[in-house]
Amino acid sequence: MQMEKTRLRIAVQKKGRLADETFALLKATGLTIKENKGGLFYRIKNLPIDLLLVRDDDIPGFVFDGVADLGIVGANVYEEYALNNNNQRRAQCIQELGFSHCNLCLALPNTEGYADLNDFNNKTIATSYPNILQTYFKKGGISASTLEMHGSVEVAPKLGIADAICDIVSSGATLEANGLQNVKTIFSSQALLLKTTKALSTEKKDTITKLLSRFEGVRQSKETKYIMMNAPRSALPALTKLLPGAEAPTVMHLEGQKDSIAIHAVCRESVFWETMESLKTAGASSILVLPIEKMLA
């Protein structure tokens, strides 16, 4: 595969749990994706970027080898790949992307009791993540065997081929449906943005800078809210203290009402119902919380 000098190549999952949110993020950053059904690449029309569509397991290797300049992959897959290669093939992780959150957990049949990690000594554990698991056990001084499985790991105890499993858990429904209990989270994961350690052209570096700033803008606008309320002027100091992550609020007078003001502020942290209730108790009324579509610092 010949590398383009100017068009940035990003390896992304073609289909699966990561793919939808990856494409949603790329679209939210304003990329216009020209899909090519069945093709290996999607071309971005408004920035010099190509998307390389692959299985998630191939992404860390492609980024390390420079087949792709960037890659979006779960931390679980990246960590397993790096440990499997004795940490000799680590790309650079340049951003945690805040989606595809899940945990890698040890789970036992519901019928088994659990005291502590020592219960895993001399047991056989089915997993798709033998390197992460063995590294974790080594730190805890546990000696156990791993049975490497790819797919349907949760059925291993029922089949009698393993005593326990170590698998990705999101809602916990799969464990429950298979009569298993989550006893220990050994690794927390989310989608990562990886960057190759190979030298990049100035054009590619510039595109990465632009992309990172847009990713940050998307992340901030998701968390950030615009909040508006009316209040007696005397309540301003108390209300300002209650506004989560807000810089100096904008204060305006209300026509015909000498002692009342309107307060507008950008809150960089989540605004919960509890926050709104506290604002109300401190004297605010007509409280409105609005989403922010785009932000550029």
Dihedral, CA atoms, 33, 34, 38, 41, nearest 10 degrees? -70
Contact footprint for ligand PRT (CB under 6 A): 13, 16-18, 55-57, 74, 76-77, 100, 102, 167-174, 189
Count of residues near Zn ion by CB under 5 A? 2
CA distance 121 to 144: 5
Question: Which CB sits closer to ligand PRT, 84 or 220?
Answer: 84
33-34 sheet: strands from edge to edge: 33-34, 41-44, 49-54, 8-13, 70-74, 191-195, 92-96
Q: Closest CB to ligand PRT among 192 and 282?
A: 192
Residue 41's Cβ-side half-sphere holds a number of Cα atoms within 13 Å equal to 13
CA dist 219 → 75, 213, 272 (Å): 18, 10, 18
Smallest gap from Cβ 129 to Zn ion, in A, equals 11
Beta carbon nearer to Zn ion, 57 or 216? 57
| Count of residues making up the chain | 297
From the list Zn ion, ligand PRT, none, partner contacted by residue 21 (C-beta under 5 to 8 A by kind)? none
Q: How far is CA 17 from the centre of its chain?
A: 12
What is the pattern of x (binds Zn ion, CB under 5 A) and - over residues 33-62?
-----------------------xx-----
Least distance CB 209 / Zn ion (angstroms): 30
Residue 224 contact, options Zn ion, ligand PRT, none, Cβ 5-8 Å cut-off depending on partner type: none
User: By CB under 5 A, is residue 17 in contact with Zn ion?
Assistant: no
Q: Residue 214: left if φ>0, alpha if ψ -120 to 50, beta else—which one?
A: alpha
Residue 167 near which of Zn ion, ligand PRT, none (CB within 5-8 Å, type-dependent): ligand PRT
What is the secondary structure of 23-68 as a DSSP string? Answer: HHHHHHTT--EE--TT-SEEEESSSSEEEEEE-GGGHHHHHHHTSS
Task: Choose the one of Zn ion, ligand PRT, none that binds residue 13, judging by a C-beta under 5 to 8 angstroms depending on kind.
Answer: ligand PRT
State the binding partner of 17 from ligand PRT, Zn ion, none, CB within 5 to 8 A by kind.
Answer: ligand PRT
CB of 33 to ligand PRT, least distance (A): 18
C-alpha radius of gyration, the chain, whole number:
25
Task: State which residue, 105 or 142, has the beta carbon closest to ligand PRT.
Answer: 105
What, of Zn ion, ligand PRT, none, does residue 178 touch, CB below 5 to 8 Å by kind? none
Give the neighbor-by-neighbor strand order of the sheet with 285-291. 250-254, 257-267, 225-232, 285-291
Q: Should residue 80 be labelled a site residue for Zn ion when binding is judged by CB under 5 A? A: no
* Smallest distance, ligand PRT to C-beta of residue 12, A: 10
Residues of the shown chain interacting with Zn ion in the complex, contacts defined by CB under 5 A: 56-57
